Amino acid sequence: MDVVRLAVVLALVATTRAQDAPSVTGRVVDAARKGVAGATVELLHRPIPNCLELGSEQRIVVAANGSGVFRARVTADRRYTVRAWWEGGASRVEDGVEAGAFVTLARDPFAVSQRVALAGLEPWAERGPLALQALVGGETIDFAAVPMADGVATIPPLPGFEHRPLELLGADGEVIWSAAPEASEGHAVDGSLAWSVPPPFELDLVVRDAATKAPIAGAVVRRHIRNHWITRSPLLAFGERFRAVWPAIGRSDAAGRLHARIPLLGRGDPTPDTLWLLALADGHRASHCGWNDGKPFRESHLLAGDGGPLEFRLTADAVQRRRIVLPEGNPAAPGRALLGWRVWVRGDGSGSGTPFFSTASIADGAVVFAPPPEFSVLESLALESPARLRIEPADGDGTSDIDLRAGGSASRSIEVVRPDGRPAERVVVLVTNADAKSARGEPAAARCDRLGRVTVSLACASRVVAYDGSAWGIAVVDPAASTTTRIAMQELPCARVRVVDQDGQPLAGVVVRTSGFRVALGGEGAALTPGEAAQIGRWSVVVETDAEGIASIPQAPIDGTLRLELRDPRRALLDCGSGELECPVAPSRETVLRFTAPRG
């Protein structure tokens, strides 16, 4: 074989191998469904989607070709959150994308660049260089860098996310402050925003051993800033849909003391209004101290008087172990885990709590973790493996083993197909006890794979609802059945909405967004439980009006009132009108909504 022929054969072999490698393909399209040439596409996987701390992310970045088509090589057993961006725009986020999938990344009408006037950064220059980041939004937590210059930040086009938080970081990577931007005085005119860091508060702390009163050196102290949404996806347990911002503010010295300087909202002279702190040290149970509504507390209990100097008292305690038995009866494999706790302050006949997440290791079939503050409740546990494990608060006493083998339960296969017969790739299914018509708790949730298949665990006859915002289907599944249950989704009829200005002229480029619905009593409303209805009601459909001011809105799959909001993407914080649709809506009916232009 000559050299040229050999080179051709080798090239063909290499191409074939590349095509056979696990990959995700797709297309990036604009508002007119035309391909976006050269768009940047990013695929992100984290072993635990809502956990930044593990640091073992896989981030894949590729460029779309001249037709907006892209191909990315991925790892076969992982699921990715995918998005795209380009000059002046960005796509919606697509979650749960796996190898072999073809995904369309459609332009998000809310993805516009925003200018933010910054204030209050000067006192924190010593912790620089400072950096600003904005939450992206999606099941896999991620942040985008926000450039700053001359007191102004420019948020790049990002997928729509209501009350998107910005985080100011110090050179050490710790969060100094986190908050969502607010509308500035000029927001109604140019969409500009404002964001500020509160003034500094000087804080003196001491960390001691609870029994010996000896100082503890090297204890890490964290302060709670806020909690914010990262996603509303039912695929994550409720508490995992939030980011709890607890940055480290320093370590205690040899005398157990720490002087910290932190931003603080509200009263701070001489004591804070509300400030929750955690102290953590090896070989000790974490300690929870601070002020709640101006009253000092320690280990969840309010203290008499002003409590004196703020003092952490850490109890010596060994690491704790809880054995984990997976649904199939096997012990958990070695790896890492994320524990979701709720820490409490109780007093005056009431109590308040907030989430706190900590990482742990899995060894010898057990989760091994440092003991949390006293009276903490374990609300969720997620493993590095593809499995998503949930713990109900009632089971979270921190001492018993975690046995996920439900008595009498059985795994059943579900196949979901779209109205056109294609597999319902990445469609979410909700599982509820078939006899619990009045159930108000959140149903269990799972996502179909790229072939429209999903396996659910059932202890009794259960209702399985498939829904994606444009189509839905429902079936009752018997756990004793030996065959795969098939759910054929039905396309939801669309209601015709016309948006006009104050003079009755049609408006193009206005965003019409559904914001939930109220279920009608009786009738077809009984087709869903309150829990299912609430979950579907949180599904927001976003449609942009065309040149004639028309938007087609998929109706709710039950009788009720669908609420609508009007938004100008450039001034997204302002209400520009609202309306309601009484579902079902006759196909011939047109609902007219009047756009209220924001005023400067």
Which domain CATH number covers 459? 2.60.40.1120
Domain end, chosen from 376, 403, 430, is at 403
Residue the block writes with tokens 């725009």? 89
Q: Are residues 100 and 7 located together in one domain of the fold?
A: yes
- Residue pair 556/500 in contact by the 8 Å Cβ criterion: no
In a domain? residue 237:
no
Q: What is the pLDDT of residue 13?
A: 40
- Phi/psi of residue 338, nearest 5 degrees: -120, 120
Q: What is the pLDDT of residue 348?
A: 57
Positive or negative, the CA dihedral 267, 272, 274, 275 is positive
In a domain? residue 96:
yes
Question: What is the residue type of 246?
Answer: W
In a domain? residue 244:
no
Distances from the Cα of 560 to the Cα of 437, 520, 540, angstroms:
17, 4, 16
- Strands (E) located in 180-319: 182-183, 193-196, 200-209, 220-223, 226-229, 242-245, 248-251, 257-263, 275-280, 287-292, 295-298, 301-302, 311-314
Q: What is the pLDDT of residue 461?
A: 86
Q: Are residues 100 and 116 located together in one domain of the fold?
A: no
What does the DSSP 8-state code read for residue 305? T
Cα-Cα-Cα-Cα torsion 19, 24, 28, 29, nearest 10 degrees, comes to 100
- Residue 69 tokens read as 């088509």
- Residue 10 tokens read as 């080798």
Q: Which residues, including other chains, have CB under 8 Å from residue 40's CB and lie 6 or more apart? A: 61, 62, 63, 64, 84, 85, 86
Domain end, chosen from 444, 465, 491, is at 491
In a domain? residue 278:
no
CA within 13 Å, CB half, 561:
7
Strand partners, 205: 258
Q: Are residues 486 and 500 located together in one domain of the fold?
A: no
Label residues 565-588 b or e (16+ Cβ within 10 Å = b): bbbbbbbbbbebbebebebbbeee
- Residue pair 474/526 in contact by the 8 Å Cβ criterion: no
Q: Strand pairing of 335-347 and 350-363?
A: antiparallel
Which domain CATH number covers 87? 2.60.40.10
Q: Are residues 7 and 85 located together in one domain of the fold?
A: yes
Question: What is the residue type of 272?
Answer: P
Q: Are residues 363 and 418 located together in one domain of the fold?
A: no
Residue the block writes with tokens 């001489």? 270
Single pTM value for the model = 0.88
With vertex at residue 32, the alpha carbon angle to CA 28 and CA 33, rounded to the nearest 5 degrees, is: 35
DSSP-based three-state secondary structure for 14: helix
Q: What is the pLDDT of residue 6?
A: 44
In a domain? residue 205:
no
Tell me how many domains the chain contains: 5
Domain end, chosen from 491, 523, 554, is at 491
In a domain? residue 204:
no
Q: Are residues 193 and 118 located together in one domain of the fold?
A: yes
Question: What is the residue type of 494?
Answer: C
Q: Are residues 56 and 20 located together in one domain of the fold?
A: yes
Question: What is the residue type of 224?
Answer: H
Q: What is the pLDDT of residue 122?
A: 96
In a domain? residue 599:
no
- Residue 302 tokens read as 């309010």
Q: Are residues 30 and 43 located together in one domain of the fold?
A: yes
Burial-class residue 84 by CB neighbours within 10 Å (0-12, 13-18, 19+): buried
Label residues 210-238 b or e (16+ Cβ within 10 Å = b): beeeebbeebbbbbbbbbbebbebbbbbe
Q: What is the pLDDT of residue 524?
A: 42
- Strands (E) located in 315-459: 320-325, 335-347, 350-363, 366-369, 377-383, 402-403, 410-417, 428-433, 444-447, 453-458
Q: What is the pLDDT of residue 526?
A: 47
Q: Are residues 14 and 28 located together in one domain of the fold?
A: yes
pLDDT in tens, the chain (600 residues): 454 444 433 443 444 445 578 999 999 999 999 999 999 999 999 998 888 888 789 999 999 999 999 999 999 989 999 999 999 999 999 999 999 999 999 999 999 999 999 999 999 999 989 999 999 999 999 999 999 999 999 999 999 998 899 999 999 999 999 999 998 877 777 778 999 999 999 999 999 999 999 999 999 999 999 999 999 888 887 778 889 999 999 999 999 999 999 999 876 667 788 899 999 999 999 999 998 888 888 887 888 765 556 899 999 987 888 888 776 777 888 888 888 899 988 765 567 889 999 999 999 989 899 899 988 888 888 888 655 555 554 444 556 777 766 555 678 899 999 999 999 999 999 888 777 655 556 788 899 999 999 988 887 888 899 998 889 999 989 888 888 899 999 998 899 999 999 889 999 999 998 877 666 544 444 467 777 777 776 778 889 999 999 999 988 777 778 889 999 888 877 888 898 888 888 878 889 999 987 654
Strand partners, 167: 133, 178
**322, 358, 280: which is closest to 54 by C-alpha?**
358
> In terms of residue numbers, what domain contains 32?
3-106
In a domain? residue 294:
no
List strands edge to edge, sheet with 311-314.
257-263, 200-209, 311-314
383: left (phi over 0), alpha (psi -120 to 50) or beta: beta
Cα–Cα dist 61/81, whole Å: 12
Question: What is the residue type of 53?
Answer: E
Q: What is the pLDDT of residue 5?
A: 45
Q: Are residues 75 and 131 located together in one domain of the fold?
A: no
Q: What is the pLDDT of residue 171?
A: 97
Helix (H) or strand (E) holding 15: helix 3-20
Positive or negative, the CA dihedral 25, 29, 35, 38 is negative
Q: Are residues 36 and 98 located together in one domain of the fold?
A: yes
